[in-house]
Structure 1
Amino acid sequence: MKVITHRKTTYYLLAALILVKMVLHYCIINPVYDLHRDEYLHLDLASHLSAGYLSVPPFTAFISLLIKWLGGGFFWVKFFPALFGAGTMVLVWRMIEELEGGIYAQLLAGTVYLCSAMLRLNMLYQPNSFDVLSWTWVFYLLIRYIHNGHRRNLLWLGVAIGLGFLNKYNILFLVAGLMPAVLLSPQRKVFFNKYLYTGIGIALLLALPNIWWQIANGMPVMHHMAELTKYQLVNVNRFDFMKDQFLFFISGAFVFVAGLVALFLYRPFRPYLFLGLTYVFVITLFLYLRAKSYYALGLYPVLLAFGAVCWERLFSASWLKYMRVAWLLLVILPFAYVFNVLFPVLTPQVIQQKAKKFQAFGLLHWEDGKDHALPQDFADMLGWREMANLSVKAYELIPEPARAHTMVICGNYGQAGALNYYGNGKLPFALSFNADYIFWFPRMEDLQYIILVDDEEPDEHAHRFSTSIEKIGQVTNPLAREYGTSVYLLKDIKPEAPAGLRELQRQQIRELRAW
């Protein structure tokens, strides 16, 4: 009876933490902000279902389709990353149960998870939230297999890796770290289990449509990685990467550090040594490749589980029990202090007034290697509505009969996605020669007008295709990353314009495939 009561208590506590987490995600974004540029692209994938995309594998597209069916509003856009984060918390909870941890260990791990960068990660509709969930699912299944030996865990392992691959290729780094880690540990005997290879077959079967799409389209993921390395990863500082691993958890880092140390030194955790080795191998690989620091976040939920169990056992002595509350406060209070720095709860104007606090945490440092007035994610959430309104204004200047022969072309995927989100029903589907939009151009015969949205002046192509270019307006918010982006109405479209646009599209596709 006591066991049943204890389980009810732990699940009530878990439900309470999940409720807090889900509610928080609707309180941490000030209404002054729009959606993030990446969110617009991911939402547009729902209109073009495919086995693969330039930006992400196909899993996100199907979640976007579900969001679209649910109305596509702000609530549902934010719901799914929060849900994936809650799922990760549930798996941490279950891992602690497998390790025979108690309610305090679960409360400590849940509190650290809530009061960390995981909350920020789950704030945006990106593949990152499910990526962390899939990594945690892999670790959970391995722990379950070691604990009970059930072969079905190895089959589910294939499902977890396969779905993780369909969400984000980042999970391949986990696989790359796991293989040598297991080989160097007593758990290497798993390689003699035929069910492991059945699980690998399941993973490959799930990944096959996307692998085939990549091959059929000239492996555009390689071009994407080359661009990422050239313009973003080159600015990654390895020292900052390691520093961020601790900053992700603010004052709760002592929990995951305890878990990592225990995997190497604590005798009861010796069967799980391979998890500590996996952490070392994956972090080393990321350091070598100059990866972005958040790529490694999937490593930490499992460490939180082990660390929380360690602290619970350490505090089991009667004279140390009072430290349990102190440890929870040590996690919560510093997080409360930096809460308005980590999340866009403040208006941009107030952030400027508190710039020193943001700068102290390195949050004004962008991927271009420079400091700016706002954190990059926050600046990426401004100016989109204004841009869409200007585009609608341009569209309304076009005579009614000609609107069916109008194209909207944008300079980047964020602009195109934002126009499709805020201008839905008021504008034709916006396109771009950037990202996945390059594949979505329709037939362009009888083209009469073009609405051009770009952060640069109209180039020679625009002047070659049109004899009259009118500037409608520009984004006026100086704190928006899209500040200065202008909307132009191109009139008197020349007959050669459709063929010229089609050739530009083909040229861009050829470049994507010539990696």
Structure 2
Amino acid sequence: MAVVLSAALVALSGRYGFHRDELYFLLAGRHPAWGYVDQPPLTPLLARAGAAVFGASPTGVRVVPALLSACSVVLTALLARELGAGRGGQIFAAGCCACSGYVLAIGHLLSTSTFDLTAELGVLLLTLRLLRTRDSRWWPALGAVIGMTLLNKQLVLSLLLALLAGLLAARPGQETTRRLRPGKARLLLGPLLALLLALPICAPTLWWQATHGWPELKVARVLSHVDGVSGRLLFLPLQLLQFSPVLVPVAIVGLRRLLCDDELRWARPVGLAYPVLCVLVLLGGGKPYYPLPLLLAVTAAGCEPVVHRARRSWRTLTPRLLLAAATSALAALPVLPVSAVAVTDAVDIDQGEQVGWPRFTRATAVAWTTIPTAQRAHAALLTSNYGEAGALAHYGPAYGLPTAYSGHMSLYDWGPPPDSDDGPVLLVEQADGQHRLEQPFSDCRTVKRIDNGLGIDNQEQHTEVVLCTGAHRPWSVLWPSLRQY
């Protein structure tokens, strides 16, 4: 199942084009650092490595997420085995993972969630192994995996906090209590050893965040404000929709088993951790998909009972997996013609963000030629977001475009243009009607409007390319006012 999934993901990887985030990761990979304002360094490094090894194309960049998704399938099967599943339950768990819309979506695109899913499943597997065996030899491995996960995202800290809350809330049985009494010192030594292994791995990126004022927290607050109250009200429905409504009954069986089955009393902290994590993410204004790695582990717990009730007959389970795969693929993968993206974009906006970037670049290049040739050496190109800057960095050199600057996210740290670029300024400005990007510049006029030619209402559709005669102040003075998250 892992091989089939990864092969399907690679086969479909070049159907549309780059996602705006992938173009940003490729650009960030050219500016290696221990951290960025919106993420740790691992995903940009994976983008750079994928492009170097497999080619700077959508397929080349997406080989890595396809392989990571295959690992996630195997880890989900191992989680089911840890929770008592036999061969059939393990196969069904692998199938549930491979058919989940969330797994397909992040396996198709390179994102910070891609590595995060695999790493958090690894954390959960090692946690279950520790809970079941009480073997302290697993603590170093857990610490190393946590350290690697923190190089990609800090979300694992919420997962660990939820697991700790689940451990404290679960009432240990008499046998468990008896086993813990003689080994309290060793019980404390294990987490300390894990911490000592995790810290050296993630210390550089934590130090970067600390010395830069913890910008990731600022970005998180901005994203939480953008989602607003409606995002919190739709938190659970969107989470289950992204996971796969067809697989939700299996997850419910798994949650009930973890909370009520005496045979899995030792694993009860994992079951309790899921609602705790949902509450933590809600309070923090996080995305609905943040708890989905833990939900996959909960689903793995339900696979053995579901297979047993089906009397080990796949005539009822196979159609369920096929239905889940079909609905998830339609929502998350580029299986439809590009002309149909306007329909699927209503379900998954990431589909539309993979369309139109070469056309966007060509339109910007046409607008650039409206600047008199003699003035282009001192002209500047400024974009409103990292997706635009990433696209122009990737496709722009073929059209003779200069370096594109932006105050968005970490691109702010790679600017500003030199003060010697005191000529015309070409702005790529999203069509929100507010023209905020034009305010520091003189005599601005629209010279081009972006049209992807497919009627897809993505973020760049109807973007305006605006030509201004110059800036009111030197770039070095103006730049701090252009910072945006």
Normalising TM by the smaller chain, what interval?
0.7 to 0.9
CA RMSD of aligned residues (A): 3.0
**Residues of 1 paired with 2:325 and 2:45: CA distance?**
34
> Percent identity, aligned pairs only?
24
Q: Which residue of 1 aligns with 2:68?
A: 84
CA distance in 1, matches of 2:49, 2:242: 34
Distance of 1:339 and 1:197 partners within structure 2: 43
Aligned to 1:11: none
Unpaired runs of 5+ in structure 1? 1-16, 366-374
Q: Which residue of 2 aligns with 1:58?
A: 41
Give yes or no for the alignment of 1:42 onto 2:19: no
Cα distance in 1 for residues equivalent to 2:440 and 2:270: 60
Alignment of 1:322-341 (within 5 A): 322=313, 324-333=314-323, 335-336=325-326, 339-341=329-331
Q: Residue type matched to 2:66 in 1?
A: A
* SS across alignment from 1:381: coil
Q: Which residue of 1 aligns with 2:260?
A: 265
- Alignment partners' CA distance in 2, 1:463 and 1:275: 52
CA contact (8 A) 1:413 1:434 kept: yes
- Between the aligned partners of 1:440 and 1:434, the Cα distance in structure 2 is 10
In structure 1, the residue matched to 2:99 is 115
Aligned to 2:403: 429
Q: Distance in 1 between matches of 2:209 and 2:328?
A: 42
- The 8 Å contact of residues 20 and 353 in structure 2, kept in 1 or not, is answered as yes
SS, match of residue 453 in structure 1: strand
Partner of 1:485: 463
C-alpha distance in 2, partners of 1:464/1:142?
Answer: 54
Is 1:178 matched up with 2:163? yes
What is aligned with 1:299? 294
How many residue pairs are counted as aligned between the two chains? 468
2: CA distance between counterparts of 1:442 and 1:348? 37
After TM superposition, the structure 1 = structure 2 runs for residues 100-111 of structure 1, keeping only pairs within 5 Å, are: 100-111=84-95
Q: CA deviation at 1:53?
A: 0.9
Equivalent runs, 1:367-378 vs 2, <5 Å: 375-378=348-351
Alpha-carbon distance, 1:139 to partner: 0.8
Match of 2:188 among 173, 185, 193: 193
Specify the SS of the correspondent of 2:63: helix
Higher mean displacement: 459-468 or 265-274: 459-468
Deviation at 1:273, TM superposition (A): 0.9
Deviation at 1:36, TM superposition (A): 1.7
**Range with greater deviation from structure 2 (182-191 or 113-122):** 182-191
Counterpart contact for 2:363–2:450, Cα < 8 Å: yes
Which of 358, 374, 382 is residue 385 of structure 1 equivalent to?
Answer: 358
User: Secondary structure of the equivalent of 1:225?
Assistant: helix
- Opposite residue 456 of structure 2, the aligned amino acid is L
Q: 1:401 to 1:49 in 2, by over 3 A?
A: farther
Q: What is the rounded CA distance, in whole Å, between the counterparts of 2:159 and 2:332 in structure 1?
A: 27
Q: Per-residue deviation at 1:486? A: 2.2
Counterpart code for 2:427: L
**CA separation of 1:96/1:275 partners in 2, compared to 1, >3 Å: closer, same or farther?**
same
CA distance in structure 2 between the aligned counterparts of 1:219 and 1:254, rounded to whole angstroms? 40
Shift of 1:278: 0.9
344, 365, 368: which is aligned to 2:334? 344
Paired AA for residue 60 in structure 2? W
Tell me the equivalent position of 1:8: none
Unaligned runs of 5+ in 2: none
* Deviation larger for 290-299 or 399-408: 399-408
Offset at 1:223? 1.8
Q: Secondary structure at the match of 2:157?
A: helix
1:453 correspondence with 2:413 = no
Residue pairs, 1:397-436, within 5 angstroms: 404-425=377-398, 426-436=400-410
Contact 1:30 1:346 in 2 (8 A): no
Q: Secondary structure at the match of 2:382?
A: strand
Match of 1:128 in 2: 113
Q: Describe the shift of the 1:328–1:160 C-alpha distance in structure 2 as closer, same or farther (beyond 3 A).
A: same
The amino acid that maps onto 1:454 is E
| AA at the equivalent of 1:453 | V
The letter for the 2-side match of 1:18 is A
Instruction: State the secondary structure of the residue aligned to 1:222.
Output: helix
Q: Shift in Å at residue 472 of structure 1?
A: 4.1
Q: What CA distance in whole angstroms lies between the structure 1 residues aligned with 2:306 and 2:296? A: 15
SS at match of 1:167: coil
Asked if the contact 2:235/2:287 (under 8 Å) is kept, the reply is no
Q: Would you say the 8 A contact 1:381–1:480 is kept in 2?
A: no
